[in-house]
Structure 1
Amino acid sequence: MMRPLSVLLVDDVALARHRLRELLAHIPQVRVDAEAASLDQARKHLQGRRFDLLLLDLVLPDGRGWELPAQQPALAAHTIFVTALPQHALQAFELGVADYLLKPVALPRLQEAITRVRRLAGLLDDGQANTQVLAVPAVGGTQYVPLAQIDYIDMAGHYACVHVGQRLHLLRETIARLAERLAPGGLLRVHRSVLVNPLRVQGVVERHNGDALLELAGGAQVPVSRSYRTALASALDARLKNR
C-alpha cells in the first residue's frame, strides 16, 4: 500500500488553498500538513520538515514560485505549479518540476499530476506503479494515466484506444495483454475487444442471447458478452458493497 503523501500548499489566496484542500480530500493517501501564503513562509516550513509534494502558486507577494525549485533543485520532482498563467509553463518544466496545472484545477488532472510526482519521487515501486497507472505515448515522451480515470479501452486495428473522458490515447498492445496487466488495478475485460472500469458503469441495457450494453458515465456505451457477465456482476456487486 502507498504511504500517505505529505503536502505543503503555497498560495497567497486563502480561497485557492481551500479549493485545493477540497480536491485533495478526494484523493486517497494524500495529506495536507502545512500551508503558506508567501515564499518566506514556505521556506520556513521546508527548513523544519520534509514534504513529499509542494503545490505551488507562481505569483506570490514576495517573489515567483519557481524560486523555490531553482534554489533547491531536489524539490523539483516534488513540485506541481498551480497557476492562472499559462505562458510560464516552459520555464517551469525546464526546472524539472513534475507538472504545471492551470486554475481552476479539475480533480482528474490533479490526480494525474500527483501520480506523476509519486513516480518521479520514487514513491511507487514498480509493482504499485503497474497497478495504478498506464503509460501511454505522448508528445515528447510518455504520459502516465491513472487507471481510476480510464473509462474503457477498446481496439482499433492493432491499437488499443484508451478513453479518458474526452481524451483518447493510442497504445500498440493487445487487449489480452492489457487485460492481464491491468486487472490488479481494477480494469475488467467485458468483451473480446473491450476493457471497462467498473466504477464508470451506470447501467446495463440487455440485448439478445445474454449480451448487453454497458452505459458509462459520460454517455459512452460499450458491449459486454455473456461469457463475461458473471465477472462483471461480481465487480459491480463489490463496488456497491464498498460504497
Structure 2
Amino acid sequence: MYKTIIIEDEQRIREALSIMLEMTAPNSIQIIGYAESASEAVKLIDRLKPDLVFMDIMLTDGTGFDVLKQITFNSFHLIFTTAYEQHAINAFKYSAIDYLLKPIDPEELKTAVERITLLEEKVLEKQQLNELQQNLTRTPDRIILPTQEAMYVVKLDQIIRCETSGSYTTFFLTDGRKIMVSKPLKNYEDLLEPPMFFRVHQSHLINVNSIVSYSREGMVQMIDKSAVPISRGKKEHFFKLMKDEI
C-alpha cells in the first residue's frame, strides 16, 4: 500500500480525487492526510513521511515548489495536479515530471498510479524541478532524458536524431553521445515537432537542421554520417517541409 497525501486547496477536488483513488486503486492506495496550503503541506509531509503525494501547483499561501523547497523528507513519488494550459503541460513533459490535468480523468489517474509502481526512485532531482519552473515561464529549449543511470539535460539543438526499438528510444547527440531511455518514440514525437523535428519513419525522428542531404529515393544523410530512411507515407510531407524551409 502506498501511504498517500493529497495537497489541494479546493475541497471539492480533494474529495473527488479521494473517491477516484478509492475506486481505481483500492488495493494500492491508503490516504493518510490532506493539506490545502503550502505551510500545512510541509508539516504533513515531514510528519507522516508518505510514499506518494498528489500536489496542486497553486496553493492558498504559495506553490508546490515552495513546499518542495522546505520539506526535509523527500523520499516519495510526486504527481502534480494542474489546470494549466497546453504550453505549461509541455513544460511538464520536457521536464519528465508526472502530472494530471484537471478535471482529473479516472482512467488517467489509474494509469498514473500504475506507472509509479514501476519506478524504483522516489526522489525528484532538483534539476527536474528547476527545469520545470523555467519551462513554465518560457518556450522550452531543453528536454530531460531520464535513464537508470542519470537525468540528462539536453538542448533541443543538440539532438541529431532519435531511433526507437520496441519500448526504448536512443537519442543521438551532436557531441557523439547516445542516450537510451525506456520510453517509445511516440512519447517524444509530440514534443519534438516540426519544423525543427520530423518523424520520417516509424523508427526514426530527425532534426531537420542536422540534415546534410536527402535523395528522392528516400534516404536522408545526417551530420553524424548516418543514413535514415524516409517511409513511403512520409515522403510527400517531408519534401514539402524541406521546400518550405529553403
Select the structure with the greater relative contact order (CA < 8 A; seq sep ≥ 6): 2
With the length of structure 2 as denominator, give the TM-score of the two structures: 0.45
